[in-house]
């Protein structure tokens, strides 16, 4: 049986053969149980279980199941004593309820297509979320493994996840790994600067900072300690550019008034 199509057929039939509310509730409970059994042709269920699933008392359940049987929706038989009754659901999907049966079946199939599309989109989104989460965890592991001189990243907050996902979309896994290696090789980023400042996970996964690291702005310079113009996560200012240019041209004096 197709659960969805059976429910649709059931409500189609209600339009011409109405049922009292207890019978409707009981039919849904029996369909739920039949589905859980894997659509066995016959199954047993105690009245006490049906009471829990329907909210009906025993007498109401007995009246409702008799009504369902009279309407040709189920078959049931007592097994005597204290044993549970045996039930069989009657498929409604292909019952000739309307004159134009092929048309109704076609409408059911057409109506069922959006459900399949929704399920496919849900599965795709779920797969994408799982993949992105694995990639974020991988970036965290790479950082902690490569950047041993920096503070460890012990938790991926939502803000960090958003930053990592954005960087992965722009650069990819290999470029981010390259950033971590270059950072670990940079004396300046590890704290050898006038302010004893060092980078961390949040700083390295910032877009502007990744650009500067990849451009080599923090690479060690031959012949002495390299001191880039900035020591925080902000972009370099024009003043700091002048300082770097002056030093690159051999100026060794003190900078005052900046």
Q: Which CATH architecture has domain 3-97?
A: Orthogonal Bundle (1.10)
- Low-confidence stretches of the chain (pLDDT < 70) are 95-123, 222-258
74-77 and 43-45: which strand pairing?
A: unpaired
Burial letters 11-39, b for 16+ CB under 10 A, else e: ebbeeeeebeebbbbbbebbbebbeeeee
Query: What proportions of the chain, in percent to the nearest 5, are helix, strand and coil?
Result: 55, 5, 40
Report residue 134 CA to chain centroid gap.
12
Specify the pLDDT at position 126: 73
CA torsion angle for 157, 159, 163, 166 (degrees, to 10)? 110
In angstroms, rounded to a whole number, what is the distance separating the alpha carbons of residues 26 and 17?
16
CATH 1.10.10.10 location in the chain: 3-97
Answer yes or no: are the C-beta atoms of 204 and 146 closer than 8 Å: no
pLDDT tens, 72-130? 999 999 988 889 999 999 998 776 444 444 444 444 544 544 555 556 666 677 777 88
Answer yes or no: are the C-beta atoms of 44 and 86 closer than 8 Å: yes
């Amino acid at each position: 049986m197709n659960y969805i199509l059976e429910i649709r057929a059931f409500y189609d039939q209600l339009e011409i053969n109405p049922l009292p509310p207890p019978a409707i509730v009981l039919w849904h409970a029996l369909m739920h149980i039949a589905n859980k059994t894997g659509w066995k042709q016959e199954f047993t269920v105690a009245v006490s279980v049906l009471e829990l699933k329907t909210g009906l008392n025993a007498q109401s359940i007995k009246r409702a199941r008799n009504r369902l049987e009279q309407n040709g929706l189920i078959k049931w038989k007592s097994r005597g004593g204290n044993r549970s009754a045996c039930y069989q659901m009657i498929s409604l999907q292909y019952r000739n309820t309307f004159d134009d049966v092929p048309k109704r079946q076609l409408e059911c199939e057409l109506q069922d297509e959006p459900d399949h599309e929704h399920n496919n989109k849900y599965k795709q989104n779920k797969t994408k979320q799982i993949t992105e989460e694995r990639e974020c965890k991988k970036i965290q592991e790479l950082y902690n493994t490569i950047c041993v001189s920096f503070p460890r990243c012990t938790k991926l907050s939502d803000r960090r996840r958003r930053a990592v996902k954005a960087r992965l979309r722009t650069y990819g896994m290999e470029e981010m790994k390259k950033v971590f290696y270059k950072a670990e090789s940079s004396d300046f980023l590890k704290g050898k600067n006038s302010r004893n400042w060092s980078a961390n996970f949040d700083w390295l996964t910032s877009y502007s900072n990744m650009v500067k690291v990849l451009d080599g702005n923090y690479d060690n310079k031959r012949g002495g300690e390299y001191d880039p113009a900035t020591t925080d996560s902000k972009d370099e200012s024009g003043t700091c550019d002048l300082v770097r240019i002056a030093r690159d041209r051999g100026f060794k004096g003190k900078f005052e008034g900046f």
